[in-house]
Structure 1
Amino acid sequence: MKRVFALLAIAASMSVFAGPKEDAILAKMKEITKSPGISVQATPFPDLFEVHLGGGNIVYTNPAVDYVMLGNLIDPSTQKNLTDERRSELNKVDFKSLPLERAIKTVKGNGQAKIAVFEDPNCGFCKRLHSELKKVDNVTVYTFLMPVLGADSVSKARGIWCAPNRAKAWSDIMSGGPIPDSNSSCDSSVVDKNLELGNTLGIQGTPTIFLADGRRLPGFVTAEELKKNIASTK
């Protein structure tokens, strides 16, 4: 419970869904956490309210805030995970605002679909995703080098960014090929900027995929899963 309230206390400023019950919950939460930035809205279930903690973190409570619950809210009639759906909505980004010039651009087929992927060169699941991406056609992939797994990852990321052909260097290393030499005269500050960007976006692990409509797919996905998600992009 202390962890829940700690998360609430550092929640970023959010818009509030107005209503008497929501206002009362908001006031109670502010009283408990001394935080001005809590978002509250009703769920489809009577007297159960969602509290957004920021960063896609969600808890539930009742109008009197007698309890705070962690976990997934499931609609039994449809078997839908309502918490996951809300988290996906809250975690959306403005794809057009991403600094794509700081990513490695790879065009497959007509390149019509667009995705951005944050990856670490030493990430095993990133390498598995690289293999799956070979099965996906007609997509432009923007790879943001985000070396979160230590100094060796940072060194490899800098070497990839400074390679004459970044896309080839990235593909080679993800396929078990040679590691590019780091060029000390090359400006590889983009790697540091991408790490900052990842923190700003609340990325908690690699790979993390963003679809063109802003939806976030955290973790490894298969080619078929990715194709379905791309096809459903609005």
Structure 2
Amino acid sequence: MNYIYNLTAATKLVAASILLLSSVLTTSAFAAQQEHAELIKRFEQKLNFKIISVADANVPGLLQINTDTGIFYASENGEYFLSARIYRVGDEIVDETGAALQKYRLEGIKRFKDSAIEFKSAKEKYVLNVFTDATCGYCRKLHNEMDILNDLGITVRYLAFPRQGLNSKVYSDAVSIWCSDNPQEAMTQAKAGGNVASTSCENEVAEQYNFGKAIGVNGTPNIILPDGTVIPGYQPAQALLAALRAAEKA
């Protein structure tokens, strides 16, 4: 009985300790969030862009500022704001900003999984996420190889990037493609130079475009590999397969 009593008391003590630690961590996280909220408000007011999130950078004393126009850095006290690319120099030179962008791209792509227009391979081995514009010549060239890409085991998931911005016909055409009864067919028709019936619906075309800007997309096609690295332009199907295989081995 004494053993059972002591075990129960110990269990209660552990539970209380966990609860106390959880409370401390929650309070600490809330305090950090409040501190970042002040930084976000200050920088947005001063610099006139939208901050999506703030996180600790890999450099002591710096914060990583993820914005709608890319990644920036700031001192922890908010006194300095930096537009920079950070490299860590050791046995090898590591592009820390590039690594942060890779992670940022992959996290964002997950958000748009359900709103991408997917051309799925029946033998899927790889998935490419491609920012596209139906009026872009090289986007059309890439789309013309869709059967080859699918046959190679490559699924293509399109995200919208109307190059003329959100107040353009290209944007409204993109909305019509995404809102059509058969988005895959509408995309193929548009990239063949055909007209797509004007329509609208609840969609994430603008959100996809803004996310593209935030990760540095400035032209199409912008091809994101499964590891978050980018091919900033058209590549033929076999070259894309080689890039996917190389990324897989890296």
TM-score band (shorter)?
0.5 to 0.7
Equivalent residue runs for 1:197-212 within 5 Å: 197-212=211-226
Q: Deviations over 1:138-194 (max 9, x none)?
A: 122110122122512112111111211111110122123x211112xx314321121
Find the counterpart in structure 1 of residue 143 from structure 2.
Answer: 130
Q: Distance in 2 between matches of 1:172 and 1:142?
A: 17
Find the counterpart in structure 1 of residue 159 from structure 2.
Answer: 144
In the TM superposition, residue 16 of structure 1 has moved relative to its aligned partner by 3.9
In the TM superposition, residue 106 of structure 1 has moved relative to its aligned partner by 0.9
Q: Distance in 2 between matches of 1:163 and 1:226?
A: 29
Q: Distance in 2 between matches of 1:119 and 1:225?
A: 19
In the TM superposition, residue 232 of structure 1 has moved relative to its aligned partner by 2.4
Question: Structure 1 residues 87 and 221 mapped into 2: Cα distance closer, same or farther (>3 Å)?
Answer: farther
1:159 pairs with 2:176? yes
Q: Distance in 1 between matches of 2:160 and 2:130?
A: 9
In the TM superposition, residue 42 of structure 1 has moved relative to its aligned partner by 4.5
Task: Answer with 1 or 2: which has the greater Rg.
Answer: 2
1:102 pairs with 2:115? yes
TM-score by length of 2: 0.58
Match of 2:101 among 75, 87, 91: 91
Find the counterpart in structure 1 of residue 27 from structure 2.
Answer: none
1:175 pairs with 2:187? no
Question: Structure 1 residues 13 and 227 mapped into 2: Cα distance closer, same or farther (>3 Å)?
Answer: same
Match of 1:224 among 210, 216, 238: 238
Question: Structure 1 residues 138 and 39 mapped into 2: Cα distance closer, same or farther (>3 Å)?
Answer: closer
How many residue pairs get aligned? The number is: 176
Gaps of 5+ in 1: 1-9, 19-28, 46-74, 76-81
Q: Deviations over 1:197-223 (max 9, x none)?
A: 212222222111111122221122222
Gaps of 5+ in 2: 1-46, 48-53, 61-73
Identify, as 1 or 2, the structure richer in helix.
Answer: 2
Find the counterpart in structure 2 of residue 35 from structure 1.
Answer: 80
Q: Distance in 2 between matches of 1:128 and 1:212?
A: 22
In the TM superposition, residue 120 of structure 1 has moved relative to its aligned partner by 0.9
In the TM superposition, residue 229 of structure 1 has moved relative to its aligned partner by 1.4
